[in-house]
Copies of this chain bind each other. A is one copy, B any other.
């Protein structure tokens, strides 16, 4: 493990199958070290049905061996733009939502306090709430929310914090600004027909998959750019926004979703925006026999990292914000 430098292991020198797996082969550091972006696992299952996302960070680390230094779009390498390291996993308490949420908040707070920001890999989508809370921005963040599901239930099984309630919690607690929020890709069978009302009531923009298909990628990017503007924004990517052909290893797959190309191109369309932190969630390795979902998750985490590194390089995502 290289400690003198924060460069990832060079896969042209050391074969990609070598050494313990860290995110993108970056050095594994303690949080006392100097770095700009912490890559973190948040291995917690809030899931009410098919679980296994607690193993997500491990499998995404493994598949991230395949990622190279530069984005396909020819932009600067994030590893040239800032200091990036694998900070290991956020401590959680198995099968205990309350204590795990508190632990995640606290751990992220400590990292933010050191002046760094985060790109996280879940765990399921319940982890986004405590991560954003822990980042502790003084102003509400905008959010770009990729998901098949609206995630605005008032509660689930009597719990306020869950992989289906996060967006509502974030709005209620003033952590995100609903006027600067967009949910993309919503679709799938529904428990009730008013499941999109909370978006409407609070002014969050919802681009269902139906609308996305109608307006296309370019217009979708345009709308999102208009909504979130240049203010600090969080990007959260629930892997189930993809068609199950790209994410069979997830808890609630919904046929008829985005392709990986769609996802990559929309995210690349955010270059220049102020994406200060982000996450990829809901990858469940026990359901991902071919590792395809984790491969996609690793690639998406890299796309998000490129955006966050841009923001950091421009001083936009500086901690103490």
Interface set of A (CB-CB < 8 Å, partner B): 1-3, 11-12, 14-22, 28-30, 41, 43, 45-52, 54-55, 57-58, 61-62, 65-74, 86, 88-89, 91-97, 99, 157-159, 187-193, 209-210, 213, 243-246, 248-249, 252-257, 259-261, 264-265, 284, 286-287, 289-292, 295-296, 299, 302
Q: Is the CB of A15 within 8 A of B48?
A: yes
Q: What separation, in Å, do the CA atoms of A238 and B58 have in the docked complex?
A: 27
CB-nearest residue of chain B to A4:
B30
CB-CB < 8 A to A95: which residues of B? 45-48, 95, 97, 157, 159
Q: Is the CB of B15 within 8 A of A54?
A: yes
Q: Is the CB of B248 within 8 A of A256?
A: no
CB-CB < 8 A to A68: which residues of B? 188-191
Q: What separation, in Å, do the CA atoms of A74 and B18 have in the docked complex?
A: 34
**Interface secondary structure of A, over-half rule:** loop
Q: What separation, in Å, do the CA atoms of A190 and B264 have in the docked complex?
A: 15
Query: Which of B11, B18, B21, B292 is within 8 Å of A191, CB to CB?
Result: B11
A157 with B245: in contact, given A49-B16, A68-B188 (CB under 8 Å)? Answer: no
Min CB–CB distance A85 → chain B (angstroms)? 10
Q: Is the CB of A94 within 8 A of B245?
A: no
CB-CB < 8 A to A253: which residues of B? 66, 292, 295
- Number of this chain's copies in the complex: 6
Min CB–CB distance A261 → chain B (angstroms)? 4
Min CB–CB distance A255 → chain B (angstroms)? 4
A260 with B287: in contact, given A28-B1, A50-B55, A191-B12 (CB under 8 Å)? Answer: no
Q: Is the CB of B14 within 8 A of A292?
A: no
Q: Is the CB of A17 within 8 A of B1?
A: no
CB-CB < 8 A to A99: which residues of B? 158
Q: Is the CB of A88 within 8 A of B245?
A: no
Min CB–CB distance A245 → chain B (angstroms)? 5
Q: What separation, in Å, do the CA atoms of A133 and B67 have in the docked complex?
A: 32
Interface centre among A158, A187, A256 (most CB of B within 10 A): A256
CB-CB < 8 A to A3: which residues of B? 30
Q: Is the CB of B243 within 8 A of A259?
A: yes
CB-CB < 8 A to A96: which residues of B? 97, 157-159
Interface centre among A70, A159, A190, A286 (most CB of B within 10 A): A286
Q: Is the CB of B51 within 8 A of A52?
A: yes
- A1-B1, A72-B256, A253-B292 are known; give 14 further A-B pairs, CB within 8 A: A1-B28, A1-B88, A11-B191, A15-B94, A19-B41, A20-B22, A21-B61, A28-B28, A48-B94, A73-B210, A213-B261, A246-B255, A255-B295, A257-B261
CB-CB < 8 A to A97: which residues of B? 95-96
CB-nearest residue of chain B to A300:
B255
Task: List 10 tightest A-B contacts by C-beta distance, closest first.
Answer: A286-B286, A255-B260, A68-B189, A18-B89, A256-B261, A70-B190, A48-B94, A19-B88, A16-B49, A245-B245
Provide 28 A-B residue pairs closer than 8 Å at the C-beta atoms, listed in order of the A residue.
Answer: A1-B29, A16-B49, A17-B43, A17-B57, A20-B20, A45-B51, A45-B95, A49-B66, A49-B94, A51-B52, A69-B189, A69-B192, A70-B189, A70-B191, A94-B157, A95-B95, A96-B158, A209-B261, A213-B261, A243-B260, A245-B259, A245-B292, A246-B255, A249-B290, A255-B260, A255-B264, A255-B296, A286-B286
